Each structure stands twice: as C-alpha cells, then as structure tokens.
A = this chain, B = another copy of it.
C-alpha cells in the first residue's frame, strides 16, 4: 500500500509573493536580502505578502544563483568517539552563528568511505571543509584539494601551506605527563599508544619521548604497547604488562579509553592504582570522572577547538584571514585525579630490599 501526495503542499514561489504585493520579484528578493535598499512602505507591503503566503525561499535556487551553498563539510574519523562528537558541537555552535549548516562526513574508521566526501566537495555541495582526519581525503583519482574549496585541518595537523591548522598542544602535554610521572618518583614508564598510523598518535609519542629525555631517561626506560584509540587497546596492553617481571610503574595512555581499559584489567589482578601503578590518560572525556579511581588525565579544550576551527574556516571563506589564524595550538589542562601518586617502592632495587 503506497501513500501518495507527499508533495501536496503547494509551493509558493517568489513570483506569487510579488504578485500578492503588487511589486516585481526583484523587489521581493531585495526586501528579503538587503532591506535597507527598499522604501519602508514597499518593504512593509512585501513583508505582509510574505507573511500571508508563508513564503520561504527555495534554498536550492538561491544556491545555484549565488554560487554559495551555506554548508560546510566536516569529515571526522568516527563520530561515536566522544572526542570528535564534542569537537563537532563546537563547530556547530560557531557555524550556526554564521548561518552555515553542517554536512557530516563520518568515516567510521573506514577509509573507503572518504571517496564519497571528495565527490561531495568536488560537486560543490559545500563552501568549505573541516578535516578532523589528519590527512587529505582522496578518491582514487583526485583529492579534496582539487575542489579548490577552503579547507581547515583541526585536531590533527596537515602539512600543506594552503591549509591552516587548528590543533591542541598534544606534544607539550604528553611531555608534561611524563615529567609529572617522573616528578612523582617513577623510573620505569609505559606508553599505551593510539592508532599507530595516525598523526595524533605520532605527535603524542614524540612528546612522550621528549619527556623521557627531559627527565633524564632513555629508550630502555619505557615500553610501548600499540593499538587503536579504544578500550580494548588498554586491556591488551595490560595483558602484556601483567606478564612482565620488571613492570613499569608510570603509565601514560594516549587516550582515556585505553587508560580505563588498562586500569580495569590490572585491578582485576589486585594491582592497586595508584599505590602500585600510576596511570595518566589523555582527552578528559566525561566518563573519566566516573571510573574507580577517577582518572588523572589531560583535558582537551574540545568545544573551543571546534569553535576555533570553524571560525578560521569562516574567515577563509570570507577572505579575511590574518596570519595569526594560520596555526592555532590550544593548551590542555592537567586534571590531577586519583590514578596517579608517588612511587612507594622507588625502583627495582629498593623493592627487593624492602621485601627481604
């Protein structure tokens, strides 16, 4: 059984309003887009006709004529990741203010999906692109730059002098995390990675090694466990950790999810956090405040990041970038909570001594 007449509502066109108001379509258009340039009386006449008819301009026709879509494409690796969802909120807030709409390009961690969004850009369905991916999506044949659209990279930097970057200070924060752990007396460290191929992971690991060096340690003083930015990566890291004889006591995880997975798993083996092992996460997702114990982590200014990135894109579209907009790097905040603490047994030697 099929239902008919979805299109039953009669469409009001600008010509209808013009007729109703006794003016030309040009005047109606002017009243709606540049009210100042029309006599008050005409203006009122037209507005009355608009109200009476319930006229709403057909946005597709507007787009075709003005060559502006008032839409922006946001390409994100995975929307169910709270980090991206929160950035999107900031983007949305800023864009809405400027009258722009959002078209979501959710890759859902599958790179095949990006082709679709390249085509979307190429077919001019949007006026600009926000990339949370850390790379330029491509098509097989072409990449997104060929659209000629303004593009802004957020969250993960892209090395292209036409693309402004709006990111957080990953590297600095991660370095600081290690120094924080070292300051608590930790001497052996662990690094739970994020998706190994991602730029973000790369930056964080770089910051980690910088921190290790800055605290006077070397490559032999830490272990690294690899895996994507998910809970199970932390669990897998914990499994490996549990098999070690000379376990690290200061663990940094490149995202909160894996920090939480790690902690959950080792606590099942009656390892105490933070008395036996300190763990520090990254992101500051809401859930990190509801774990046991609550997670020490770096909070990313996600909402602000979203707004800043959208703001830069707006400037790019409107052609009024200033040099200071080209590279924005927002600071993180250390949330000192309950999964980090001073080392009780300073190192392997003293551990042996105390247990004799």
Contact = CB atoms under 8 A, between A and B. Distances in A.
A4 interface: yes
A119 interface: yes
Interface in A258-277: 260-261, 264, 267
Interface residues of A, number: 67
A267 B81 CA distance: 28
A64 B60 contact: yes
B2 A320 contact: yes
Contact of A89 (B3, B108, B290): B108
A290 B264 contact: yes
Give the residue among A64, A102, A142, A319 with the most B Cβ atoms within 10 A: A64
A19 interface: no
Contact of A9 (B64, B148, B289): B148
A120 B101 contact: yes
A164 to B, nearest CB: 10
Contact of A59 (B85, B89, B125): B125
A180 interface: no
7 contacts: A6-B149, A9-B148, A54-B142, A89-B108, A92-B106, A102-B104, A103-B103
Interface of A: 1-4, 6-9, 54, 56-61, 63-64, 69, 71, 79-80, 82, 85-86, 88-89, 92-93, 96, 101-104, 106, 108, 113, 116, 119-120, 122-125, 142, 146-150, 231, 260-261, 264, 267, 286-287, 289-292, 316-317, 319-323
